[in-house]
Amino acid sequence: MHTVRALLPLLLTAGCKPPPDEAQHMPQADPVRGKQAIVRAGCGACHVVPGLRWPQGQSGPSLEGFADQGLIAGRLPNRPDLLVAYVRNAPATLPGTTMPAMPLTDGEARDVAAYLYASGKR
Amino acid sequence: MTSGSIFAVFDPAGPYAGSITTLAWVLIAMFVAVLAVVIAALWIALRGSGRLKARLGGTRAIWIGGIGFPVVVLTALLVYGLTLTRHLTAPMPQDAMRVRITGEMWWWRVAYLDPSGRPFMLDANELHIPAGRPVLLELESNDVIHSFWVPRLSGKLDMVPGRRNTLPIQADGPGVFAGQCAEYCGGPHALMGFVVIAHEPAAFDRMMAARRAPRPVPDERGRQLFRSTGCAACHRIAGTEANGMAGPDLTHVGSRRSLGAGILPNNRGTLAGWIGDSQAIKPGNRMPPYKTLSAADLQALAAYLEARK
């Protein structure tokens, strides 16, 4: 039920922009768990995260509208597999980036990516 | 980070919080009983038969219900309350562990004291204690009035500039207990949290011994950066030239559970975010944002601090 509700915006806009939404579909990940992982890891220390009232850090870019964003960190194509890898271990995925590796399991990183795609619509 | 049940006051984890919780339940039970009596009297006054009304309005009812009952009940409560909470102000064992905690805007300075009362280890925002043993806290303030409160371990006690208040705490078992400044102290008062970690006594002794051992700091780059970017002006890291005392001691920052005074999880990412722009996280706190650091420097500093266990 949670999954359905969280994915509702995705479904509603599916007709407007089919290609990116198709590409961002993550059936095995849970955006609700993703938000919990975001709070636990403290992503808000650097990022404005949609749906998170505090903290709204300014050291990193805002993640509002992330689903519609073209590139991850301005360099990588915005695809689920790359986003999952970047969220978990950014320096290994994109050497030279400021974002450090975060204490997330692979499953948590997938949930975080799903949350960013489901909530980050402009 | 310092969230958890808002009913922590009804979930004591040690004797000092326990007696206060017991007293609270007794008071709540009394409140309910007295409220029931008042409602009953009100019902009689509005709807009762003439005979009951006459009794309720008589002189005898006033003597018994208005004077006798409160005097007896409140006296009993006073005696019970003072007896129950006697241990809160009883002298502590001579060898009890002592820690001085000083309220600062908007964090906590922590100094572990030796038997003669001198600090032998400095820390901030988190307190490690052995489970099952009483610990005496000396509470002070360097600026305004703060109030120290870890609801599951003790009552709250104000930290008053120029005074030293003492508060015993004890955790019956190992665990992590959230605290919060309980007296409005300006700006980010609501983000002035605290964490108490109770360990098994053997594990506690091992941890303290490890902390007191000489600590080599092999990361020369991080150490240089810590000095050249100005961190060392406000922060101390034992074993290095960084000796600033205005801000929290960072000798053991990597082993903390939280950052920013009990408010953020502690990892390399949150460390970097805090250094880069703590003002976005805790507006008004006294650490300036360091937005001019390069990505590499910010990473190196975060890694350096993460390794300060």
Q: What is the mean pLDDT of chain A?
A: 85
CB-CB contact of B113 with B122 (8 Å): no
What is the pLDDT, as a whole number, of residue A17? 47
CB-CB contact of B112 with B99 (8 Å): yes
* Backbone CA torsion sign across B296, B299, B301, B304: negative
* Secondary structure string (H, E, C) spanning chain A: CHHHHHHHHHHHCCCCCHHHHHHCCCCCCCHHHHHHHHHHHCHHHCCCCCCCCCCCCCCCCCCCCHHHCCEECCCEECCHHHHHHHHHCHHHHCCCCCCCCCCCCHHHHHHHHHHHHHHCCC
Could you give the dihedral angle defined by the CA atoms of residues B184, B253, A37 and A65, in that order, rounded to the nearest 10 degrees? Answer: 80
Report the relative pairing of strands B258-259 and B264-265 from DSSP bridges: antiparallel
The A-side interface with B (CB below 8 A) comprises: 40-46, 55-60, 91, 96-103
Kindly state the greatest CA–CA separation across chain B: 91
Please calculate the CA angle B102-B106-B108 and round it to the nearest 5 degrees.
30
B110 and B75 together in one domain: no
- Long-range CB contacts (within 8 A, 24+) of B216-221: B219/B303, B219/B304, B219/B307, B221/B300, B221/B304
The Cα A69–Cα A63 span in angstroms is: 9
What is the pLDDT, as a whole number, of residue A18? 43
What does residue B307 show for φ and ψ, rounded to 5 degrees?
-85, -5
Whether residue B1 is contained in a domain is answered as no
The Cα B288–Cα B75 span in angstroms is: 55
Name the one residue in this structure whose structure tokens are 């937005």.
B291
Domain end position, chosen among B88, B113, B138: B88
Comparing CA positions, the residue from B284, B285, B302 lying closest to residue B229 is: B302
| Residue scoring higher pLDDT (A28 or B121) | B121
8 Å CB contact of A102 and B264? no
Domain end position, chosen among B212, B232, B253: B212
What is the pLDDT, as a whole number, of residue A1? 47
The tally of domains found in chain B comes to 3
Q: Is B200 helix (H, G, I), strand (E, B) or coil?
A: coil
For the segment(s) A2-119, the CATH number from 3.30.10.20, 3.30.1300.10, 1.10.150.20, 2.60.40.420 is: 2.60.40.420
Interface residue B299 vs chain A (CB under 8 A): yes
B-chain CB neighbours of A43 within 8 Å are 269
B203 and B162 together in one domain: yes
Domain end position, chosen among B63, B88, B113: B88
8 Å CB contact of B277 and A57? yes
Whether residue B182 is contained in a domain is answered as yes
List the single best residue of B2, B3, B270 to mutate versus A (max A Cβ within 10 A).
Answer: B270
What is the pLDDT, as a whole number, of residue B35? 96
Q: Is B64 helix (H, G, I), strand (E, B) or coil?
A: helix
Range of the domain at B103: 97-212
B82 and B123 together in one domain: no
- Identify the CATH number of the domain in which residue B254 sits: 2.60.40.420
DSSP letter, residue B161: B
B108 and B204 together in one domain: yes
Interface confidence, given as ipTM, is 0.83
Interface residue B298 vs chain A (CB under 8 A): yes
What is the pLDDT, as a whole number, of residue A122? 55
Helices then strands, each counted (H, E), chain B: 8, 12
DSSP letter, residue B261: T
CB-CB contact of B109 with B124 (8 Å): yes
Query: Tokens at residue A80, please?
Result: 């689920």
A27: confidence class by pLDDT, cuts 50, 70, 90: confident
Length of chain B: 309
pLDDT per residue as tens digits for the range A67-119: 999 999 999 999 999 999 999 999 999 998 999 999 999 999 999 999 999 98
pLDDT per residue as tens digits for the range B212-225: 987 787 889 999 99
The Cα B201–Cα B126 span in angstroms is: 17
What does residue A86 show for φ and ψ, rounded to 5 degrees?
-70, -45
Interface residue B230 vs chain A (CB under 8 A): no
Query: Tokens at residue B83, please?
Result: 């007896």
B39–chain A nearest CA distance, Å? 44
The domain limits of chain A are: 2-119
The Cα A55–Cα B193 span in angstroms is: 15
Comparing CA positions, the residue from A73, A43, B273 lying closest to residue A51 is: A43
Portion 277-296 of B in contact with A at CB < 8 A: 277, 279-282, 289, 291, 295
Q: Is B175 helix (H, G, I), strand (E, B) or coil?
A: strand
B144 and B47 together in one domain: no
Whether residue B2 is contained in a domain is answered as no
8 Å CB contact of A46 and B265? no
8 Å CB contact of A42 and B295? no
B196 and B147 together in one domain: yes
Q: What is the pLDDT along chain B (309 residues), one digit of tens a residue?
A: 444 555 788 899 999 999 999 999 999 999 999 999 999 999 999 998 889 888 888 899 889 988 999 999 999 999 999 999 998 988 888 889 999 999 999 999 999 999 999 999 999 999 999 999 999 999 999 999 999 999 999 999 999 999 999 999 999 999 999 999 999 999 999 999 999 999 999 999 999 999 998 778 788 999 999 999 999 999 999 999 999 999 999 999 999 999 999 999 999 999 999 999 999 999 999 999 999 999 999 999 999 999 999
Comparing CA positions, the residue from B127, B163, B114 lying closest to residue B249 is: B127
B82 and B101 together in one domain: no
The Cα A92–Cα A77 span in angstroms is: 16
Instruction: Out of B267, B275, B282, name the one closest to residue A42 (CB).
Output: B267
* Backbone CA torsion sign across B73, B76, B82, B87: negative
